[in-house]
Amino acid sequence: MSAMTSALMPANLLKVWESGAPSSSAMRGLLLLGLACPQATADELMQTRIGHRDAQLLSLRETLFGPHLACLLDCPTCGQPIELDFAVDDVRTQHAAPDDVCEIEADGGTLRFRLPCSADLLALEGQGNVAHAERWLLSRCWLPAPGDNATATPTPMAVAPPDWREDQVQAAVEAMALRDPQAEVLLDVVCPACRAPSSHLFDIVGHLWRELDHWARGMLRQVHAIAARYGWSEAHILAMGQARRRAYLDLIGYAG
Ligand SMILES: [Zn+2]
C-alpha cells in the first residue's frame, strides 16, 4: 500500500480530524498538508509556502471528494445567498517556488523578502492580537541586504519592515500576492438577485475542513450503528472496506 493510500485510510483521516478540531486555520492547513504529502518531514511541511500548500490541498480535495466544488456566499450588497459551483481546476493557478524571493524598489534600494509559510502563520497566531499583521509577517520574511560582507554599502535595504512606510508595506503585500497567486484565490461573482459584482477570497483550508468534518461525523455515525449491533471495535469497523461496511449497514437497516 502506498504512503498516500494509507494516509487517506478512514482511521487516519479521523485522527487528523480529531487533532484539528480544536485548532486554528493555520494548524488545520498544516494537518491537511500532511495528508496530501505523507512522505514530507514535519519541517518540510512547516516551510511549504502557502501557495504551494494550497495547490496540494486542492489535489487532496479532488482525491477525497472529487473535482466539483460547491460553496455558498453572501452578496455584500443585498445579503442574498449566492450559490457557486465550479471545478477544482478553475481555482488552480501558479504558485511560488520554495526559494522564490520578492523584491520591491524603495528609495534607491531594494527591499527583499521571502514568501510566508505555515511556520509564519502559526507564529503570527502565537502573538495573539497583532495590530499590524502584515507588517509583522513581513518582518519575519524580510531578507536583509544580500552579500552580507564588509564591502556592502549601507542602503535603504537595511531598513527593517517595522520602519517601512505604509506604502512600502502595501507594495510588499502586493508583490507577495503576485508572486504566489495560489495563496490568494479570488472568486469574482455577480449576484443573481441584484446584479452587483463582488470578489470573495476562496479559502481551501476552511472549505476542505468543513467537508472533512461532515465526512467524519457521517463515518462515526456508521461506526456507531455497526458497533451498537455487533459489538465490534471502532478500529475493526474502520479497517473494513467501504463495500463491506455498507453491506453491514444495509443488513441492520441503517439509512444514513
Ligand atoms: Zn445581491
Domain ranges of the chain: 3-95+186-239, 101-179
Spacing, Cα 93 to ligand 1 middle (Å): 28
Spacing, Cα 72 to ligand 1 middle (Å): 13
Spacing, Cα 78 to ligand 1 middle (Å): 4
The confidence band for 21, taking pLDDT boundaries of 50, 70 and 90, is very high
Is 149 a residue whose pLDDT tops 90?
no
Q: Are 13 and 216 in contact (CB under 8 A)?
A: yes
Spacing, Cα 200 to ligand 1 middle (Å): 13
Q: How far apart are CA 119 and CA 181, in angstroms?
A: 19
Q: How far is CA 240 from CA 53, 56, 122, 236, in A?
A: 31, 28, 36, 7
Spacing, Cα 190 to ligand 1 middle (Å): 8
As a whole number, mean pLDDT of residues 168-177 equals 90
pTM above 0.85, yes or no: yes
Spacing, Cα 46 to ligand 1 middle (Å): 39
Q: Taking Cα atoms as reference points, which of 63, 10, 49 lies closest to residue 218?
A: 10
Q: Taking Cα atoms as reference points, which of 28, 4, 3, 7 lies closest to residue 213?
A: 28
Spacing, Cα 253 to ligand 1 middle (Å): 44
Spacing, Cα 198 to ligand 1 middle (Å): 9
The confidence band for 180, taking pLDDT boundaries of 50, 70 and 90, is very high
| Per-residue model confidence as pLDDT tens digits over 93-138 | 999 998 899 998 877 678 889 999 999 999 998 887 777 888 889 9
Spacing, Cα 192 to ligand 1 middle (Å): 7
Q: Taking Cα atoms as reference points, which of 43, 166, 56, 51 lies closest to residue 97?
A: 51
Spacing, Cα 195 to ligand 1 middle (Å): 6
